A and B are shown apart, each in its own frame.
Chain A
Amino acid sequence: MPQNQIKYFQKGFNFSQDGPGNRLVYHLYGCNFRCPWCANPECFAADTKVTAQTVEEVANEILRSRPMFFSGGGVTFTGGEPTLQFEALKELLIIIKEQNIHTAIECNASHPRLCELFPYIDHLMMDLKHPSDAAHKAIVGMGNQTVLDNIAAAASTRQLALRIPLVNGYNTDDACIDGFIGFLSTLPQNPLLTVELISYHEYGKVKWQKHGMEYTVQNGFVPPARLAEIRERFRQAGISTIQT
């Protein structure tokens, strides 16, 4: 039987940006969202050079990279959307967890079976792009019901680093902020839950152009005053936010 393959478009070590410590980060190819501000559009670009390796090969590479997982580091799967390669990813996570490798996943929380991976993930990072199902669908191409369900499931049982990208013109008006706060207020108290507001940046813009795709975000930067106001509203609602 052919083994499951992991398809990725980039890998490398990164210190503390994608989980704790020094981490070997795999950017898995493919994404079911089309966020206009995406920092890694090569994850869905047709001309991206993709590497495919068997689960065993990737597991071996991770295991022999152990000396570089210092300061509490390990391996992170991001993308793209890593859960699109669900079966291979699960198989890989099981193998490396057995070897006590610290694992992290950064995902968009849209996979209906995401909870199956929870036992094999030490550090879970999920994004919430918009609180409204309709707007979510209009912006990224899919609704958010599964996303909200997965966030709620994780938040009620385990560690979760929840990230909200704030992009001017998309999700920073009062209604959106109320929506985010409203949803977060329904989550149970969990000391292992952190909420991070990530202000818009344009690190990926040049990549869109490089891959011949149009970057459509205009004026996405959130004015500092508005950002402070949003943080204050979260604070007043009893939701502390972190900055990394």
Chain B
Amino acid sequence: MKPKNQHIIDLAKALFREERSITKLTGWFQIRETAAKNEGKYADLSLERRTAALLHDELKELPLSISDNAVFAGTQRDAFARTYALINPSFRVETFSGYCDPTAVYGDIDPDEEFTKERIEKLRQYTLQTPYVSQLNAMYKKAESYTGEVIYFVEQVTGHLIPEFGTALQYGTKELIATAKAKAETETDAEKKDNLLAFADALACAELLAGRYREIALAKEAAAIAAKDDEKAARFGKLANALARVPMYGARDMFEAIQSFMLLWEIMCIEQAPNPYAFSVGNADRIFEPYRHGMTREDAAALFCHFLVFFNVADRSWAISQNLIVGGRDYDGNDLTNPSSYSLLDAYFEMNLPQPILSVKLHKNTPDKLYEELGRFFFSPGVLTPSLFNDDSLFPILEAKGVDKEDLETYSVAGCQEPLIRGKDNANTTNSWLNLGKILELTISGGVSTITGKKLCDFEKLPPEELLPRLREKFYENVKSSVALMADSANGASRALSNLRVPFLSSFMGGLDYAYDTRDTEHQGTKYNGSGCLIHGLSIVADSFIAVDHLLKERPQDAERLVKALANDFEGDDELREYLLSCPKFGNNIPEVDNEAAEIANKISDLINSTKNYLSNDFRADWSSPTTHLTYGYWVGALPSGRPARDMMNYGVDPLYGSAESGLGMRMLSNMALPFCKMCGGYASHLGIDPKYFPADSFEGKGLQFKERVIEPLFFNPAADGIQPFYLYVNVTTPETLRKLLKNPKKYAPSGVYIVRIHGTFVNFLDLSPDVQQDIIRRLDLASTANIGGNE
């Protein structure tokens, strides 16, 4: 970047350092306290309008500030708590129980003189009595025997949506308010009319927040003038001017567009405080490009540096999994990469922050320039890497699920890898979690946990010689009955959550068209709606079925021995375990087991994709396991694949670590056997690749080799049949490198930040809990991606 921007960039870096020094997050608590205090004032209003009124009060009372290092106003700090498990040092696989307790967050503030124990407890007790929490707790109580050891799990989904702020950026919130009011006037349905007025009320919060920030900016400008600090005076003067205009009116340039976006985002997050994880931006390059007006790549990048800092909250960047995309194509295949795409990449590289997550959409006509520019990300140690999406596959998959042609190019990624249509799709992406590994364990044991000995469910108990030849049949029966219960619980969680209305967000999700809240479980407030189901254990179940087949064929007398060995976690029967481990495993291009995995993926996807949610829309099969392969694996007993009890399950659609040892080509071929066309909810896949596989001597050259050797064969392979894979993330590093880093972080990451990828997000490796650090190291699994050498 040119030196003239250096000051702006330096400010962004100082702003990030300042943010990382914050260790106490209490804004969310004050917000909830304001809501609790004022709720009675609005008892006569409908739930929707009451929520909008409370949002107004929350924003009015919330303490605000603007840093001396800021270029823009706004923060997400007040919406988040220090909670997220992966980056919480106290996270332990053994004790993690999901995010199901909505009052657990009250344990995240260490009491002090201001936030006393009594004050915290009072609000917790208040929250416990709310319809939301009581309904949610009743649902969990009912599902206890299934969720306790994670046959399935469900959760209420906050965040995880992609708002359409484009119209507000272009015309301003006043225009949207006028639209809402005009529609309300002609609306004959009382509920809809009321909702539209609530949306208008909520949108008016933008002016309140901008006005409050403007006062602060003006005060800072005046102080800077008094101190004869011309740069600061000009900076805050410019900011005050922008805040007089946006988000109320249309943005006139890049600066105003970014400022407008940030304030809308802040309100959206505050509306859902605490912890609305994984709200996502969508294609930021397309959102901001119309406001560039000839601004140089470097100038835009400098502003984007500040935009990126906005997504980082406090000492560990707690607002995790907020996703920003660049690149992609339109319906006709034209590339939509634009100058803002490259400015955003420059900002990402310059800042190398733990958040927000970067995703890149690719297609067969993606220009080489984009791959060249990505090289520096993949091949600089400790630098963030984007996750990669294949538009050429996702367009037909989404179209087959009913997405209109004109909406396809706006698909975005909510959180990790779930594709949603920006501003039109409420997919409740993390609503339910299905554990195929546990169901297989319980199918064999007859419903009794081999981990705890507890009777968890009424799966039929059959003698081994009768069960094992019918293992598939019984397994699928049990999956079916579990999924029915899971859907019931998941819909219960969604219904409980619908007590917490979101009129502000709804205004950017189609609410002005449909006049219903996004979370309404009786009426659809978005164009598209569904519920997610994250499915765990694909390859370990496939490996298990094949191992049982081999055992029945080669040593049928050992059927009973197998069942006993599984119940005892192979204790005293190493010989049998060795035999099971030697049976074919997914990921080695062995048709027998690869086809089995494909069959499982087909059947389970069909089952999920035909299960109905609260609005009778489909659940969406999502073969992802965001660290839950680890946490849920802890509750899965020994399996016929030879996997011991409590070991992790396979990650996403990948082979279990250590079981694919035939190198990258074989692993890719196995992967190609899977029915990606049915994974409409998304899936996860990771390759740990040795940097030596890309010998070019420049980042640009390595980027092109990455395209040639990984992306093209996987995503755009002319010799492959059907829908090709559409998601990948990589870590181009070695276990040794990460172990050295852990041993001597000051030497290998003097800045304290060393970014790695973990499922859909990237994180500072040094921020992670030890369990998760070890998971990342194990799953690099370089044998599964090796280049098998020849003679020299």
Measured CB to CB, the residues of A under 8 A from B are 10-15, 17-18, 22, 24-25, 27, 39-40, 61, 64-71, 76, 78-79, 106, 165, 198, 201, 203
Contacts and interface: CB of A to CB of B under 8 A. Distances in A.
19 contacts: A11-B788, A12-B663, A12-B665, A12-B788, A13-B664, A13-B788, A14-B787, A15-B693, A15-B709, A25-B790, A27-B791, A64-B669, A67-B713, A67-B717, A67-B719, A68-B665, A69-B719, A70-B712, A78-B791
B668 interface: yes
A68 B668 CA distance: 8
B717 A14 contact: no
B666 interface: yes
A201 B792 contact: yes
Given A12-B662, A12-B786, A66 B719 contact: yes
Contacts of B664: 13
Contact of A12 (B666, B672, B712): B666
Given A12-B666, A64-B591, 6 more contacts: A12-B663, A14-B787, A17-B790, A18-B791, A22-B713, A201-B792
Most-contacted residue by chain A among B665, B668, B717 (CB, 10 A): B665
Contacts of A27: 790-791
B62 interface: no
Instruction: Kindly name the residue among B664, B788, B792 whose own CB sees the greatest number of chain A CB atoms within 10 A.
Output: B792
Interface string B776-791: 0000000000111111
B708 interface: yes
A65 to B, nearest CB: 6
B587 to A, nearest CB: 13
Contacts, number: 78
B669 A11 contact: no
A39 B791 contact: yes
Contact of B789 (A17, A22, A71, A106): A17
Contacts of A39: 791-792
A138 B657 CA distance: 47
B668 to A, nearest CB: 6
A57 to B, nearest CB: 11
Contacts of A17: 787, 789-790, 792
B285 to A, nearest CB: 29
A61 B666 CA distance: 10
Contacts of B709: 15, 22, 70-71
A165 to B, nearest CB: 8
Nearest to B789: A14
A78 B789 CA distance: 11
Contact of B788 (A10, A64, A79): A10
Interface string B688-723: 000001000000000000001100110001011000
Question: What 10 pairs between A and B have smallest CB-CB spacing?
Answer: A12-B788, A13-B665, A18-B790, A12-B663, A67-B719, A67-B720, A68-B665, A67-B717, A66-B719, A70-B713
A68 B788 contact: no
A41 to B, nearest CB: 11
B445 interface: no
B790 A11 contact: no
A68 B790 CA distance: 17
B764 interface: no
B665 A106 contact: no
A68 B664 CA distance: 10
Contacts of B669: 64-65, 67-68
Contacts of B529: none
A78 B665 contact: no
Contacts of B788: 10-14, 25
Contact of B717 (A25, A70, A201): A70
Contacts of A67: 668-669, 672, 713, 717, 719-720
A203 B791 CA distance: 10
A14 B790 contact: yes
B791 A40 contact: yes
Contact of B665 (A18, A40, A65, A79): A65
Nearest to A69: B719
A176 to B, nearest CB: 19
A49 B662 CA distance: 15
A25 B663 CA distance: 11
B195 interface: no
Contact of A106 (B663, B666, B790): B790
Contacts of A40: 791
B410 interface: no
B430 interface: no
B790 A78 contact: yes
B690 to A, nearest CB: 12
Contact of B791 (A13, A68, A71, A106): A106
B589 interface: yes
